[in-house]
Every structure is written in structure tokens, then in C-alpha cells.
Structure 1
Amino acid sequence: MRALRQQLPVHRIRLLTVLPAVVVMLVAVVGPTLAPYAAETPVGIPFTRPGGGAWLGTDRLGRDVLSQLLYGGWGLLLLAAVIAVAVTAVSCVLGAVAALRPKVGVVIERAGDFAMLVPAVLGILLVLTAWPDAGTYGLIVVALLFGMPYCARVFTAAAVGVAASGYVESAQAGGESLTHLVFGEVIPNLREVLAAQLGLRFVAGIYLVSTASFLQLPTTLGASNWAVMVRENAAGMLLNPWAVLAPSLAIAVVAVSVNLAVSVFGRGEQA
């Protein structure tokens, strides 16, 4: 009973930390069906303050900010989720291989050093300006190039201990293939690291996609995503602050909440 009482607050803390992100994500997914107006439909004078039929006022073109907010989240979050899954999955496999084959680990370590020295924003500019038709594929390439080396180093460090365990060494002595060792022996024992990195890569994906949209680099997220709303409405912030604050808060709530949830879940597993 005592152990149950001690665990209940931990579960409640975990729920509270992840709840804001879940709510914002759900609103972003079902948002287009809840929007009172079409995303590109003008409903009043530009930068009108909240009132009447516009609960959050209007933007620079007189469009309803609430409708823009409801339409503008799903593409950004979906692309961030795809980036998170791609980077985490590839990095997990590379980390497991590096732990089993030390020569590969040296290559990953050097690549990680290079990725940490080159700013991600510079990578975004180089890839998306040199490949203007890349769109979302270009962002995924940037995420893999600059997120994978560092993430793979984390998985390598976690997988080294697993690779040195008795059952993995027995499987190696028994002539098991590298594929079996990676997917059958090492990766199943990296579940905690996998979950933590997935959350962190999702946050990094949100920042990456938001940065690309804010810099007006070629993407296919549409004209009403949250980062574009912040950039385009910044000039009228004094007239209608919600045109900038609403999308900024949406991005911040998702990023901070997911980050906190990853930290809390990590502490819970270690305890």
C-alpha cells in the first residue's frame, strides 16, 4: 500500500506535464473542423482586436486569428513527428551497430562532432536554398544530417553496456548475424532511451520546422502555419497582440510540455 501511495503522485505529475501538449495537439488535428471561418477568408479590418465574431481578433489581412490558429497546427506537428520518428529510428539502429562494431562507432563520433560544430540554421539555409523544390523532404534531410549524428552517439553510449552483457556475447559466439544482434538483442533493451529521444527529437523537429517557416524558406506547410503567423503579424503586434501571441504560445506549450514530460518520465524510470 505504501508503494502504491508513493507512485500515485508520480503518475499525476506525469499526466499534468504531458496534458497541455496533448490538448494542443488534439486541437491542432481537429482544428480545421472547428474553425468558424475558412483559413483565407477576410472577416474584418486588419489587426482588429478581439470582439464580435473574431474571438482573437484579425490578422494583417483581416482574417480570423482563431481560424488561422486552428488550421495552422496540424501540418507543423505532423512534420515534426515524422522528423522525430525518422531521426530516432535511424539513430537507434546506428547506435546499436556502433556498439557492436567499434569502428563504426568512431565514424559516428566524428560525425557527431561535425554536426555539433555546424549550426542547424546554417544547414537549413544551405539545403533549402540549394534545393528550393525540396519542401518538406528537404527539412527531413536537414533533420537527419544534423540530428542523427548526435542522437546516434546517445544510443551508442546506451548500447555499449547492452552489447557487453552475457547474453549478447553468447549470441555473438553462437554465430548470430549482425541483424539479429541489433534488432533481436540490443534494441529491445533500449526502450527507455528510445522513448526519451523520441520526445526530444519531436521538440527539435518543432523548432526546425518553425525556423524554416519563419525564415520564409521553401516548405509545403501552407500559408497559415503557426510560425508563418508569428512572422507575418509581428508588425501589427501593438494593434492586435493575439495575432502573434496565440501561435507563439501554441508552439511554446507543445515544446515545453513535451520536454518536461520527457524529463519526468526519465526520472521516474531511473527511480
Structure 2
Amino acid sequence: MSARDWALRGSPAVLVVLAAVLGPWLAPHSVDTAVGPPFAGPSADAWLGSDRLGHDVFSQLLHGGWGLILLAAFIAAVVTGLSSVLGAVVALWPRWGAVIERCADLLILLPVVLALLLVVMTWPRWGTVGVVIVGVVFGVPYCARVFAAAATGVAASGYIEAARLSGESASYVIFRELLPNLRELLLTQLGLRFVAGMYLVATAAFLRLPSVLGAANWAVMVRDNASGILLNPWSVLAPSVAIGLVAVSVNLLAAALGGRPAVRTEGGGS
């Protein structure tokens, strides 16, 4: 893939994430400033109109992305990191792999939304921590299976066997020999896990589960303004499009980076 293709795929993600992170400083109004009557249409003071409380939808949009993106990125990084290590363990040590796979089978059968409701509603003080725990616990089993399937072929390679027979430590074999050869899969799964994390965090906010993301996040905007979608559609459409655009653009960036040639294919470090 050429540098131009990487730029075309990656630039939307960079622009959207920058807009979400810098949004609070770029917003023309604060999140609690009334700019007109509820669900008023677009105007010079409110480019996307107002929400149910008369607040500027555009300002709310700029304030509401950083929390969702940060939390989804954290979940994606933890899930991908743990899954890659577990997948390597399954491939290198089949006995331990059987135990890991049985635990994964049990977790895959449970509905993630039900677990989210149980955990966060049972321990409301956990808030965002509970959302992260659910995202990690229910994201790792599926992702680890993907890594295990890919790592099995790499583990059978001659240089992996040579490293193990020469007495290299388990951490060396996993992190210096095996995982560098799964670089494309790592980046691809990171993008997919980000999408899953984004929708999990948005679902938690939409279901009014306790969190520390603030009242101006995109999912809350969709939930609270749904009753006025016919009066000012932008109050619902804008945050909905923002959630989808972030998820898709980051996934495209991860896929573009994952399509680059691997740093190494055999032996030694990266």
C-alpha cells in the first residue's frame, strides 16, 4: 500500500480525533449556555440548532467526543494486548491453551449488554471502571481465539522452535519472536476492538448507566434529544454520525497501518 493510500485512510481518523480532543477549546459556547428555545433550527449563533434545553448542539458536539474516544481506546488497547499474549500462550503451550479456550467458551455465551447492566447497576460507584471491566472481560475471549489461530502457524516455524530449544525465556519467545510476526493482525484487531469499545461505551451512556464521561457525550445527546428529532434532526443526527465516523475512520487507519510490510519475518528482534 502506498503512502498516499495510508494518508487517504488515516487522515479522516486523525482529523476526527483531533476535533474531539480539541473540541472543548474550539466550541463557541459552553455546554450549559442557552442560545435559543428548545429544538430550534440552525442559526448564526447555533450552526446545528439547539437541543432540548436550548443549548448549542454544535458546542455540545465538540465537547462530547473526548471521553468516548479515550475510554474506547483504552479498552481496545487492553483487550488487544491481553488477547495477543493469551493467543501466543495457546499456540506455544497447548495444555494451558485448552484451559484458556474453555474459559473463553463460557464468556462468549453470555450477553455483553446483560453483563453491563448487572455489573454497573449492582456496583454503581464503579461507573466507568465497571464499563472497562465488562469491555475487557467480554472482549478478550473472542479476540484471543483469533490470535491463537494465527499464532499456531507462526509457533510451528523453525525459528520459534530454535529459540525455544536454545533456552530462551517464555517472554522472549512471545514478545521478541512470535508477536512481531503478528503485527498486521495486532493493528487490525486494535481497530476492531476500538469499534466494539466505542459502541459499548455509547450503549452504557445511552442506557443511563453511571459513568464519569459527563453529560455532554455523544451517546447522551442522542438519548436526550430523541424526542425532538422531528423539530431539530441535527440534535440527534450529528452525534450519531460522529460516533459512526470515529469508529469507521479509526478502523480504516488501523487497517491501513496493518497493511504495511512487516518489520521482520524470521528470527531476532524487530
TM-score scaled to structure 1, two decimals? 0.91
Alignment partner, residue 194 of structure 2: 202
Contact kept, 8 Å, 2:187 with 2:257, in 1: the verdict is: no
- Are 1:235 and 2:227 matched, yes or no? yes
CA distance in 2, matches of 1:260, 1:194: 14
Please point out which of 164, 169, 182 is paired with 2:174.
Answer: 182
Once the two structures are superposed, the pairs formed by residues 86-101 of structure 1 within 5 Å of their partners are: 86-101=78-93
**Which segments of 5 or more consecutive residues in structure 1 lack a partner in the other structure?**
1-6
- The one-letter amino acid of 1:59's match is D
Q: 1:268 to 1:89 in 2, by over 3 A?
A: closer
Query: Does 1:116 find its partner at 2:108?
Result: yes
Of 199, 205, 213 in structure 1, the residue corresponding to residue 205 of structure 2 is 213
Query: What is the identity, as a one-letter code, of the residue corresponding to 2:240?
Result: S
CA distance in 2 between partners of 1:170 and 1:214 (Å): 52
In the other structure, the counterpart of 2:13 is 21
Rounded Cα–Cα distance in structure 2 between residues aligned with 1:119 and 1:19? 35
Task: State the alpha-carbon separation in 2 of the partners of residues 224 and 93 from structure 1.
Answer: 36
Q: Write the mapping of 1:37-76 to structure 2, written as runs, cut at 5 A.
A: 37-76=29-68
Q: Does 1:77 align with 2:69?
A: yes
Aligned counterparts of 1:161 and 1:258: Cα–Cα separation in 2: 28
1:107 alignment partner AA: V
For residues 155 and 41 of structure 2, the distance between their equivalents in structure 1, rounded to whole angstroms, comes to 60
Amino acid at match of 1:139: V
> Within 5 A, what are the aligned runs for 1:131-146?
131-146=123-138
1:173 is the counterpart of 2:165: yes
CA-to-aligned-CA distance 1:95-124 (integer Å, 9 cap, x gap): 111111102222232233233322211121
- Residue 252 (structure 1) aligns with: 244
Q: 1:74 deviation in Å?
A: 0.5
1:267 Cα deviation after fit = 6.1
Within 2, Cα distance between the matches of 1:57 and 1:255?
25
Give the CA deviation at 1:151: 0.7
Q: Secondary structure at the match of 2:125?
A: coil
Shift of 1:265: 5.5
CA offset at residue 262 of structure 1? Answer: 4.4
1:157-203 per-residue CA deviation (whole Å, 9 max, x = no partner) reads 11112211112112221222222222222122221111111111111
1: CA distance, partners of 2:6 / 2:172: 35
User: Are 1:127 and 1:138, in contact at CA under 8 Å, matched by a contact in 2?
Assistant: yes
Report the 3-state secondary structure (helix = DSSP H, G, I; strand = E; otherwise coil) of the residue aligned with 1:190: helix
Query: Which residue number corresponds to residue 156 of structure 2?
Result: 164
Offset of residue 264 of structure 1: 5.4
Instruction: Give the residue type in structure 2 aligned to 1:192.
Output: E
- The one of 28, 52, 63 equivalent to 1:36 is 28
For residue 218 of structure 2, the aligned residue among 226, 244, 250 is 226
Structure 2 distance, partners of 1:67, 1:110, is 48
TM-score normalised by structure 2 residue count: 0.91
Amino acid of the residue matched to residue 14 of structure 2?
V
- Distance across 2 between alignment mates of 1:32 and 1:153: 39
Deviation (angstroms), 1:258: 2.9
**1:153 aligns to 2:138 (yes or no):** no
Residue aligning to 2:265: none
Q: Distance in 2 between matches of 1:38 and 1:56?
A: 15
Structure 2 distance, partners of 1:118, 1:258, is 27
